Amino acid sequence: MLVSVAWVREMCPCDATAGRIAEILTSRGLTVDTVIGDPSSAEAVLDVDVPANRPDCLGHRGIARELSAATGVPLARVPSPPAPAGGPVDQAVSVEIAAPEHCARYTARLVRGVRVGPSPPWVVRRLEDCGLRALDNVVDASNLVMLALGHPVHFFDLARLRGPRVIVRAARPGELLTTLDAVERKLDAADLVIADADRPLALAGVMGGADSEISIDTRDVLIEAAWFDPVTVRRTARRHGLHTDASHRFERGCDPEAPLAAQDLACRLLADLAGGVPAPGVLDVHPSPRRPRSLSLRMSRIARLLGYDPGASATESALSALALAPRRIDHDRFEVDVPSYRVDLETEADLVEEVARHIGYDQVPARVPAPTGSPASGTTHPLEERCRDLLAHAGFLEMFSYAMVAVGEDDPFVPPGTRAPLKLTNPIAEPLTCLRRSILPGPIAAAGLNARRAARSQRLFEVGRVFLPGENPGEFPEEVLRAGAVWGGPVRTPHWSEPHPPAVGFADLAGLVERALRGMVPGVDWTVRPHALPGLHPGRTAAWFGEHGDPLAWGGCLHPDLRARLEFADDLWLCEIDLDALARSTGASTAQTALPRVPAVVRDLSVVLAPDASFADLTATLERVPAPAPATFDAVDRYEGPPLGAGEAALTVRVCLQPLERSLEEDAIEGYRRGLIDALSSSGLGRLRA
């Protein structure tokens, strides 16, 4: 809002320069973005950023109140209206509020004998300083009232009213109104209008109509000053795509006691600028008079919220400077009367903020508060940040999605038979009606959006909670922390030396999962087994089970049907890690061991696996064979096809024996190899390939 420093100083007659006023306002929460003109003069203009909760400062008098509170200089009185003459206003017009829920107060005064013409230079200059263009002396008077008091008024040409009556009512569906911007608008039943006996004349609190506007022939002006419901004004303004100076103020909440002061100033300006004479009396229709509001303020509450005690004397001085009329109730409590223009003061905490704002935030001492109570145990999951670091270091980008999903969106990623998701009674959007049971829908949706924007490589992860419904109705859900990742496209970033790197496969996903598991809990042990989820490709899915049999993680390739429906060109690999289950796992105790002094012995076994056998079953069998030295087993090659039978696969298993002190003798090595072959033959898992 553009503020004339000269005008503010008329209302608060102090000697502060523009620069000093800017400093005062900024220190009190009204940021001055720009000082237009010489900051050392009193003729500059300030561009003030008024917070949305301070509508009282959308006029020069509100800015002057802040200056008065800071400097102690009393406010000048609002000019009084001239003496009335002629017949009273109630003989010329009547007022009715037919929608009191949208208009709590409507006042009207009549000024006769105006002469419409150009405004004097001081009016033109004042309006231009505030960003408005001068039109004529009558219209300019209404703008001066709004800029001075922050309360909009509207002028009607009395001769153009039919009845003559003023009715504040809801618009009739389909009614038409041509507003002052020469646009014909079709009204809605939710619109509040000012009407006469036959037709709407104005959109209440937003814009007047062309049928009753001031013209060169206007002689008698009916002044409207009212209080309209902020929500009603906001909805009407948005519905019609309008944002006016009046709606900007009414939307934020005008002073319900300001209409009479606005009427007095309007009468004075119409008399001074246009030669008008006010009629006796004022029509003040007030169905719901405002009840005075009081609030209590405790010194102990101030000390708790500010971190220090400013003292009762300083607190009382601050409240008095802000025109809150403090009354000392006891040693700890004040009671104040909230002025009608301070619509932002609703709670005790608001009063604490006012005290701090007036005393100055720079007066709050910089000290570390003393600890109270027992030490906090902390709410951060022990593995949460470690998981984020590991996945980020693996080249994945973290994302965040809603914990709410559409009905059935997470069904493909939970085991069949899982209880139905919890439904929200008040969802934030129509599709987001359920709490997720899997974290994968969010990353998959983000990957789909990226794919539609021609991004082939997908590396996304999210860490968050899923909500598993309880067994009994009304029971709180179990909130489980999980990490989910999606990976698709080339396994590495293309480079001139490898322009077409291979696509991501199961081995890459398994490596990512196992790196994350071991990175979060070193020494953790698991068993990998095939797994099945409706949304994952059968035969290309696995789960990692902990020592107690609970799944630590699961993952695989997105099911082809679901991939086609989501329009992914490449395979998309998914994994989900249960951080709560992993935190319950115990990693193997770490111990320092000497480095081997002798080389390892490596032997390869080419095994033809049975159709229903897995590598995990095979290694479990081989690990039971007594070894002459610590042994490890790795799969280094896999083959399917002739001459093997249907469903068979040949797997090359590399056996590594690593003695620590002495080299192994050949007899021991060969005996161990024979033991492995015998164990394989007796297990029925496969046979040695010829």
Q: Return the H-helix or E-strand segment holding 81.
A: none
Q: What is the mean pLDDT of residues 667-680?
A: 93
- Structure tokens of 544? 């990692």
Is the pLDDT at 591 greater than 70, yes or no?
no
Write down the pLDDT at residue 35: 93
At 644-659, the pLDDT tens digits run 888 788 989 999 999 9
Can you tell me the distance from the alpha carbon of 49 to that of 33, in angstroms, rounded to the nearest whole number? 7
For the chain, how big is the Rg over CA atoms in Å? Answer: 39
Provide DSSP, 107-164: EEEEEES----PPPHHHHHHHHHTT-----HHHHHHHHHHHHHS---EEEEGGG-STT
180-184, 293-297, 305-309: the lowest-pLDDT one: 305-309
- Place 375 in a pLDDT band, splitting at 50, 70 and 90: very low
Is the pLDDT at 377 greater than 50, yes or no?
no
| CA angle (345 as vertex; 344, 348 as ends), nearest 5 | 145
- Place 372 in a pLDDT band, splitting at 50, 70 and 90: low
CB atoms within 10 A of CB 392: 12
At 192-221, the pLDDT tens digits run 999 999 999 999 999 999 999 999 999 999
Is the pLDDT at 320 greater than 80, yes or no?
yes
Q: What is the mean pLDDT of residues 612-617?
A: 82
- Structure tokens of 662? 């002495």
| 8 A C-beta contact, residue 293 and residue 343 | no
Can you tell me the distance from the alpha carbon of 687 to that of 681, in angstroms, rounded to the nearest whole number? 6
User: Across-strand partners of 544?
Assistant: 528, 553
Is the pLDDT at 641 greater than 90, yes or no?
no
Residue pointed to by tokens 């001769």 = 159
Q: Note the maximum CA span of the chain.
A: 130
How does strand 2-4 pair with strand 154-157?
Answer: unpaired
Burial of 566 (0-12, 13-18, 19+ CB in 10 A): middle
| CA angle (340 as vertex; 339, 343 as ends), nearest 5 | 100
Q: What phi and psi values does residue 519 have, to the nearest 5 degrees?
A: -70, -30
Half-sphere exposure at residue 524, Cβ-oriented, CA atoms within 13 angstroms? 27
- Structure tokens of 450? 């990226």
At 422-455, the pLDDT tens digits run 999 888 888 899 999 999 999 999 999 998 888 8
Write down the pLDDT at residue 290: 85
- Structure tokens of 276? 């008008």
Provide DSSP, 6-39: HHHHHHS-----HHHHHHHHHHTT-EEEEEES-T
- Structure tokens of 483? 């990490």
Q: What phi and psi values does residue 480 have, to the nearest 5 degrees?
A: -115, 135
Amino acid letter, 13: P
Same fold, 2-71 and 293-363: yes
Q: What is the dihedral of CA 359, 253, 428, 188, to 10 degrees?
A: -170
Half-sphere exposure at residue 405, Cβ-oriented, CA atoms within 13 angstroms? 25
The architecture in CATH of the region 601-688 reads 2-Layer Sandwich (3.30)
| CA angle (496 as vertex; 495, 501 as ends), nearest 5 | 50
- The 3 state secondary structure assigned to 473-508 is CCCCCEEEEEEEEEEECECCCCECCECCCCECCHHH
| 8 A C-beta contact, residue 557 and residue 541 | yes
H helices, E strands: number in the chain: 18, 31
Is the pLDDT at 18 greater than 70, yes or no?
yes
Q: What phi and psi values does residue 674 have, to the nearest 5 degrees?
A: -60, -40
Q: Is the dihedral of CA 12, 13, 18, 24 positive or negative?
A: negative
How does strand 176-178 pair with strand 165-170?
Answer: unpaired
Q: What phi and psi values does residue 66 have, to the nearest 5 degrees?
A: -60, -40
Domain ranges of the chain: 2-71, 89-285, 293-363, 384-584, 601-688
Amino acid letter, 388: R
Can you tell me the distance from the alpha carbon of 218 to that of 212, in angstroms, rounded to the nearest whole number? 10
Nearest to 621 by CA among 558, 542, 677: 677
Write down the pLDDT at residue 600: 93
| 8 A C-beta contact, residue 596 and residue 530 | no
Q: Return the H-helix or E-strand segment holding 194.
A: strand 192-195
Provide DSSP, 210-259: GGG---TT---EEEEEEEE-HHHHHHHHHHTT---HHHHHHHH---TT-H
**Which CATH fold topology does 384-584 show?**
BirA Bifunctional Protein; domain 2 (3.30.930)
**Which CATH fold topology does 293-363 show?**
Phenylalanyl-tRNA Synthetase; Chain B, domain 1 (3.30.56)
Nearest to 488 by CA among 523, 444, 549, 548: 444
Is the pLDDT at 643 greater than 80, yes or no?
yes
Write down the pLDDT at residue 414: 93
Burial of 438 (0-12, 13-18, 19+ CB in 10 A): buried
Write down the pLDDT at residue 392: 95
| 8 A C-beta contact, residue 89 and residue 110 | yes
pTM: 0.59
At 506-559, the pLDDT tens digits run 999 999 999 999 999 988 888 888 899 999 998 899 999 988 888 999 999 999
Residues in the chain: 690
At 139-180, the pLDDT tens digits run 999 999 999 999 999 999 999 999 889 999 999 999 999 999
The architecture in CATH of the region 2-71 reads 2-Layer Sandwich (3.30)
449-458: buried (b, 16+ CB within 10 Å) or exposed (e) per residue?
ebbeeeeebb
Q: What is the mean pLDDT of residues 459-486?
A: 90
Helix axes 60-71, 18-27, angle to 10 degrees: 80
Q: 89-285: CATH homologous superfamily?
A: Phenylalanyl-trna Synthetase, Chain B, domain 3 (3.50.40.10)
Is the pLDDT at 376 greater than 50, yes or no?
no
At 239-282, the pLDDT tens digits run 999 999 999 999 999 999 999 999 999 999 999 999 999 999 99
Write down the pLDDT at residue 452: 87
Nearest to 359 by CA among 325, 393, 318: 318
Write down the pLDDT at residue 332: 92
Q: What is the mean pLDDT of residues 27-36?
A: 91
How far does Cα 323 stand from its chain's mean position? 35
Q: What is the mean pLDDT of residues 399-416?
A: 93
Write down the pLDDT at residue 648: 83
